[in-house]
Amino acid sequence: MTPQRIAIGAGESESVVWLGRGLLADAGSKLVSPSGRFLLVSSKAAREPVDVLRRALGGRLFLDLEIEDSEETKTLDASAAIADRALEAGVRRDDAFVAAGGGVVTDVAGFAAAIVLRGVPWNAVPTTVAGMADAAIGGKTGVDHPLGKNLLGAFHPPRTVLVDPAAAATLPDRDYRSGLVEAAKAVWIRDARLSQRFEELLDAILSRDEGALLEVVSGAVQVKAAIVSSDLREAGDRRLLNFGHTLGHAFEAAGGYRELRHGEAVAWGIAGALVLSRERAGLPAGDASRILSLLARLGPFPEPARSEEELRALLARDKKATSRGIAGVLLERIGRARVEEAIPEGEWLAAAAAASIPVSGSGNQP
Amino acid sequence: MTPQRIAIGAGESESVVWLGRGLLADAGSKLVSPSGRFLLVSSKAAREPVDVLRRALGGRLFLDLEIEDSEETKTLDASAAIADRALEAGVRRDDAFVAAGGGVVTDVAGFAAAIVLRGVPWNAVPTTVAGMADAAIGGKTGVDHPLGKNLLGAFHPPRTVLVDPAAAATLPDRDYRSGLVEAAKAVWIRDARLSQRFEELLDAILSRDEGALLEVVSGAVQVKAAIVSSDLREAGDRRLLNFGHTLGHAFEAAGGYRELRHGEAVAWGIAGALVLSRERAGLPAGDASRILSLLARLGPFPEPARSEEELRALLARDKKATSRGIAGVLLERIGRARVEEAIPEGEWLAAAAAASIPVSGSGNQP
């Protein structure tokens, strides 16, 4: 099967996303390094797909680092340690990093690539569904800070993103399902037709059909690519991709980044955003219900902590807050979202309290 | 006097350099912050000009940090500490940093601005001649690493650079003179007419005439602005600005960053590059002699350490080295430079050994 090619941005900051089955073994011809040499930073949790990648790159690897792929290790120290090892290995400006793993690995290694020698090229090989559909796409890299998630980082798009659904074959079910929330999010804000297709394919996806997964991931990447290409620096439409993330980040932080997977927190954040979208953006009840049904089939997700006091403090630190207030993304209908610039804190807190995801019956609701 | 305005780059990454006497007191109307709020990071060594700046910004400052302005403090930890303080103070994406000091302060604080919230705007107020003519211009930020200078960093152009010659009024003579080497470097690679003007103005500059200093700094900024605008990412002509820096960086490192000021090391690096330029680029003897005479009037500079073994190891780690060899900038004549891609290490070492700056007699040679 011919792989699919999606370009994001243009010129110096162009990223090319390749999607297809069997691409891991073909990494040698798809990943980009001006010198021909690569530095691999990979997730310990993704040894099987990384071994395929390693064989594909062969003698062109001159550094081969494994790191943890968990939110606690997404620190400036982790990026600095990668930078140290790269400099010790004699990295040059025309060498390229390859980050293979989940969102933590691509964020941390991508940020190291952003700051080493003021920026060297890098490539992303996501091995999680969240990475394929979201984290590795769009050029954001970065690390967490004691005061919040992703507070340090850089826009540094990878030259290439290689999406092979087989890379997620050994992913635990909880990670696989929570990653699909990010794919669904991209679809819901932009593409009503694909939203319906997602519902049709979900049983096959959940039974790990790689073709079905690839179809949905490809749709999500196309949505994100189109939005990011028109707004690399998050001044306009790119903010739509934060649908579900204002409350999602607060839920995730309230659970100490241990209780909920990122995608699970975003699922709850979407449930909250649906409350606000019904009240403020005229979202039809039927659309809200279809979204909640699909979230239910992806779940059940652990209940988030909802202490009003804690959520209030976390919302006040939201990175998307400007001096004008806390902006939010609302859905007008499936396939159409808009940014509302200043939603009062009280409404966010009420939506957080009201957010609810039904329990799925058969796992196959209409 | 109307200040001079020089734009570098365009669009999102445009920098505007303002040059003029009295600009420090006018900082409130020249420095840019989308929110109107500023975070000041300033050099302890520049209290007098910084006090003028502080009064000009008044109640719009919500963080006021002083840091050391020495090469040993140009570390990732220093940038991370600034980022910590900014996040603790509640920095938002529409707030802006102001970095006031020498090249270390603008590099370290500019890099902090580059990574906080994936990049917030910043402004530079150089208080050294090297900062005005070179370090604060062009968008490079960064820190040193145990393995070498400026090995970590980002391209993150300041929105505004404010050049008021009065900011350098209290600068020690050694720093003042070594900073002029960077101004001269820019002139020599691009502007034969200004090179002659520099010779004419040098006595006035050395007696701290602010108008004369401003004229030469302005010329150097125009050269750098034109080059950088055509090559923001150092793929082409921007490399010409490294004239004198290949050996200069090696001399500086060999002295442990303590023995020589950056500009002094570059002066010796230029003397070495002149040897190579005579041999490989047909530089006329008269041009080399005029450059050495001006360096002599700026000096005398301390002798660099020239251990061949040490210089060889340092050159091998040069950031501008690619897999093709160590590139160098050669002068064909005053006002015209070119990059030579792969000069053998042996020639660099021979030039380092042969580099010589005459001792100035009256300090006023023709």
Angle, CA A91 vertex, CA A90 and CA A97 arms, to 5°: 145
Has residue B363 got a pLDDT over 70? no
The pLDDT score that the predictor gives to residue A149 is 84
Token pair, residue A146, equals 């004691």
The pLDDT score that the predictor gives to residue B234 is 65
SS3 A322: strand
Has residue A135 got a pLDDT over 80? yes
Q: Chain A contact for B193, CB < 8 A?
A: no
Has residue B364 got a pLDDT over 60? no
Comparing C-alpha atoms, which of A13, A2, A16, A11 is closest to residue A221? A16
Comparing C-alpha atoms, which of A196, A187, A185, A241 is closest to residue A219? A187
- Identify all chain B residues contacting A13, using CB atoms and an 8 Å cutoff: none
**CA–CA separation, A260 and A254 (whole Å):** 9
Of A94, A117, A322, nearest to B151 by CB-CB distance is A117
When scoring B149, B152, B238 by the number of chain A Cβ atoms within 10 A, the one with the most, hence best to mutate, is B152
Q: Do A87 and B150 touch (CB under 8 A)?
A: no
- Identify all chain A residues contacting B119, using CB atoms and an 8 Å cutoff: 154-155
Angle, CA A289 vertex, CA A283 and CA A293 arms, to 5°: 140
The pLDDT score that the predictor gives to residue B365 is 41
* Farthest CA pair distance, chain A: 59
Q: Could you tell me how many CB contacts below 8 A there are between chain A and chain B?
A: 89
Mean pLDDT across the stretch B81-92? 96
Mean pLDDT across the stretch B343-350? 92
Mean pLDDT across the stretch B308-327? 79
pLDDT band, very low/low/confident/very high, at A260 (cuts 50, 70, 90): very high
Mean pLDDT across the stretch B165-189? 97
Q: Do B115 and A118 touch (CB under 8 A)?
A: no
pLDDT band, very low/low/confident/very high, at B320 (cuts 50, 70, 90): low
Q: Look over chain A and give the mean of its residue pLDDT values, rounded to a whole number.
A: 93
The pLDDT score that the predictor gives to residue A197 is 97
Has residue B246 got a pLDDT over 70? yes
Q: Do A84 and B145 touch (CB under 8 A)?
A: yes
Q: Chain A contact for B257, CB < 8 A?
A: no
Verify cis geometry, omega within 30 degrees of 0, for the bond prior to B157.
Answer: no
Task: Answer positive or negative: Cα dihedral of B148, B149, B155, B156.
Answer: positive
Q: How many residues does chain A have?
A: 366
- Identify all chain B residues contacting A147, using CB atoms and an 8 Å cutoff: 87-88
Strand bridging mode B4-8 / B140-145: unpaired
**CA–CA separation, A238 and A9 (whole Å):** 13
* Farthest CA pair distance, chain B: 59
**CA–CA separation, A129 and A264 (whole Å):** 13
H or E segment to which residue B6 belongs: strand B4-8
- For chain B, give the percent of residues with pLDDT over 90: 82
Has residue B249 got a pLDDT over 60? yes
pLDDT tens digits along B61-77: 999 999 999 888 999 99
Q: Chain B contact for A121, CB < 8 A?
A: no
DSSP A112-174: HHHHBTT---EEEEE-SHHIIIIITSSSEEEEEETTEEEEEEEE---SEEEE-GGGGTT--HH
Has residue B306 got a pLDDT over 70? yes
Half-sphere exposure (Cβ direction) of B133: Cα atoms closer than 13 Å: 26
The pLDDT score that the predictor gives to residue B89 is 96
Q: Do A117 and B319 touch (CB under 8 A)?
A: yes
DSSP A39-79: EEEEEGGGHHHHHHHHHHHGGGEEEEEEE--SGGG-SHHHH
Buried b / exposed e over B166-176, threshold 16 CB at 10 Å, is bbbeebeeebb
Has residue A100 got a pLDDT over 70? yes
pLDDT tens digits along A182-227: 999 999 999 999 999 999 999 999 999 999 999 999 999 999 999 9
The pLDDT score that the predictor gives to residue A144 is 93
Q: Chain B contact for A81, CB < 8 A?
A: no
Contact B167, B125 (CB under 8 A): yes
- Whole-prediction pTM: 0.92
Contact B30, B159 (CB under 8 A): no
pLDDT band, very low/low/confident/very high, at B366 (cuts 50, 70, 90): very low
Mean pLDDT across the stretch A349-358? 96
Q: Chain B contact for A25, CB < 8 A?
A: no
Strand bridging mode A96-101 / A140-145: unpaired
The pLDDT score that the predictor gives to residue A364 is 43
pLDDT tens digits along A65-92: 999 998 889 999 999 999 999 999 999 9
Residues β-bridged to residue A248 = none
pLDDT tens digits along A289-341: 999 999 999 999 999 999 999 999 888 877 666 666 688 999 999 999 999 98
Task: Answer positive or negative: Cα dihedral of A321, A323, A325, A327.
Answer: negative
pLDDT band, very low/low/confident/very high, at B361 (cuts 50, 70, 90): low
**CA–CA separation, B174 and A129 (whole Å):** 59
Of A92, A154, A322, nearest to B322 by CB-CB distance is A92
Has residue B357 got a pLDDT over 90? yes
The pLDDT score that the predictor gives to residue A282 is 97
Strand bridging mode B96-101 / B38-43: parallel
Q: Which amino acid is at A44?
A: K
More confident residue, A192 or B234: A192
**CA–CA separation, B163 and B222 (whole Å):** 13
- Identify all chain B residues contacting A121, using CB atoms and an 8 Å cutoff: none
Q: Which amino acid is at A275?
A: V
pLDDT band, very low/low/confident/very high, at A342 (cuts 50, 70, 90): confident
Q: Do B151 and A116 touch (CB under 8 A)?
A: yes
Has residue A175 got a pLDDT over 60? yes
Residues β-bridged to residue B322 = B325
The pLDDT score that the predictor gives to residue A277 is 98
Beta strands in B56-182 (DSSP E): 61-67, 96-101, 122-126, 140-145, 148-155, 160-163
DSSP A217-238: HHHHHHHHHHHHHT-TTSSSGG
- What's the N-to-C CA distance of chain B in angstroms? 31
Q: Look over chain B and give the mean of its residue pLDDT values, rounded to a whole number.
A: 93
More confident residue, B271 or A9: B271
- Identify all chain A residues contacting B79, using CB atoms and an 8 Å cutoff: none
pLDDT band, very low/low/confident/very high, at B303 (cuts 50, 70, 90): very high
Highest-confidence range of A118-122, A225-229, B229-233, B341-345, by mean pLDDT?
A118-122
Has residue A366 got a pLDDT over 50? no
**CA–CA separation, B236 and B339 (whole Å):** 9
Verify cis geometry, omega within 30 degrees of 0, for the bond prior to A34.
Answer: no
The alpha carbons of chain B give a radius of gyration, in whole angstroms, of 20
Mean pLDDT across the stretch B290-295? 98
How many C-beta neighbours within 10 Å does residue B354 have? 13
The complex's ipTM works out to: 0.91
